[in-house]
Amino acid sequence: MKLVGIVGSPAKKSYNRLLLQFIAKNYRDLIDLEVIDIDNIPLFNQSEDQTHTEPIQNLNRKIEAADGVIIATPEHNRTVPAGLKSVLEWLSFKIHPLENKPVLIVGASYYDQGTSRAQLHLRQILESPGVGAFAFPGNEFLLGKAKEAFDENNQLKDQGTVDFLRSVLEKFIRFVNIIQQIEGDKPAVLEPEDLNATGKGATTIEGIDMYAEDWVEQAAEKTEAVSGDTYVELDRGILTVDQLNHFLNSMPMELTFADDNNQFIYYNYHMEKDDMLASRHPSQVGNPLAACHPEAAHKNVAWVIQQLRAGQIDTFRIKVPTHGPDKFVVHSYKGIKDKNGQYIGVNEYVQDIQPIIDWYLEQTGQELVGGKTDGVSGASANDNNVDGVSGASENANDSATSVEADAVSGASENTSPAVPEVDTSSVDGVSGASENA
- Interval 223-242: pLDDT, tens: 999 999 999 999 899 999 99
Spatial distance between the Cα atoms of 84 and 72, rounded to a whole number of angstroms: 10
Q: In the predicted model, is pLDDT for residue 259 greater than 70?
A: yes
Assess whether pLDDT exceeds 60 at residue 423: no
Query: What is the pLDDT at residue 428?
Result: 45
Number of other CB atoms surrounding residue 323 within 10 Å:
12
> For the residues of 6-64, what is the DSSP string, one character each?
EES---SS-HHHHHHHHHHHH-TTT-EEEEE--TTSPPP-TTS--TTSHHHHHHHHHHH
| 389-398: Cβ within 8 A, 24+ apart | 389/353, 389/357, 389/360, 390/317, 390/319, 390/328, 390/330, 390/353, 390/357, 391/317, 391/330, 391/353, 392/317, 392/319, 392/330
In total, the chain counts a number of residues equal to 437
Distances (CA, A) of 427 to 145, 162, 278, 354: 63, 60, 9, 21
Q: Phi first, then psi: what are they for 65, rounded to 5°? A: -80, -15
- C-alpha span between 435 and 371 (Å, rounded): 38
| DSSP sequence for 70-123 | EEE---BTTB--HHHHHHHHHTTTT--TTTT-EEEEEEE-SSTTTTHHHHHHHH
Instruction: Give residue 125's pLDDT band: very low, low, confident or very high (50, 70, 90).
Output: very high
Query: Per residue in 140-193, pLDDT tens?
Result: 899 989 999 999 999 999 999 999 999 999 999 999 999 988 877 655 567 789
Residue 375: how many other CB atoms lie within 10 Å: 7
Phi, psi of 143 (to 5 degrees): -95, 100
* DSSP conformation class of 219: H
Q: Which fold has domain 2-183?
A: Rossmann fold (3.40.50)
Q: How confident is the model at residue 372 (pLDDT cuts 50, 70, 90)?
A: very low
Side-chain half-sphere exposure of 39, counting CA atoms within 13 A: 9
Q: In sequence order, what are the residues at sequence separation of 6 or more whose Cβ sits closer than 8 angstroms to the Cβ of residue 437?
A: 291, 292, 293, 294, 295
Residues 6 or more apart from 114 whose CB is under 8 A from it?
75, 107, 108, 142, 143, 144
Q: Do residues 371 and 381 make contact, with C-beta atoms less than 8 angstroms apart?
A: yes
Query: DSSP class of residue 275?
Result: G
Report the largest interatomic distance among the alpha carbons of the chain, rounded to a whole angstrom. Answer: 78
Architecture of domain 215-353+390-404: 2-Layer Sandwich (3.30)
d(CA 334, CA 84): 33
Judge residue 190's burial from the number of C-beta atoms within 10 Å of its C-beta, 0-12 exposed, 13-18 middle, 19 or more buried. Answer: middle
Burial of residue 428 (number of CB atoms within 10 Å: 0-12, 13-18, 19+): buried
Q: What are phi and psi of 38, to 5 degrees?
A: -115, 15
Residue 434 has pLDDT above 80, yes or no: no
pLDDT for 414: 35
- What's the pTM value of the predicted model, to 2 decimals? 0.54
Classify the C-alpha dihedral 199-201-204-207 as positive or negative: positive
More confident residue, 275 or 430: 275
Domain residue spans of the chain? 2-183, 215-353+390-404
How many helices (DSSP H) and strands (DSSP E) are in the chain?
A: 11, 14
CA distances from 73 to 32, 105, 164, 190, 344 (A): 20, 7, 18, 28, 34
One fold for 2-183 and 215-353+390-404: no
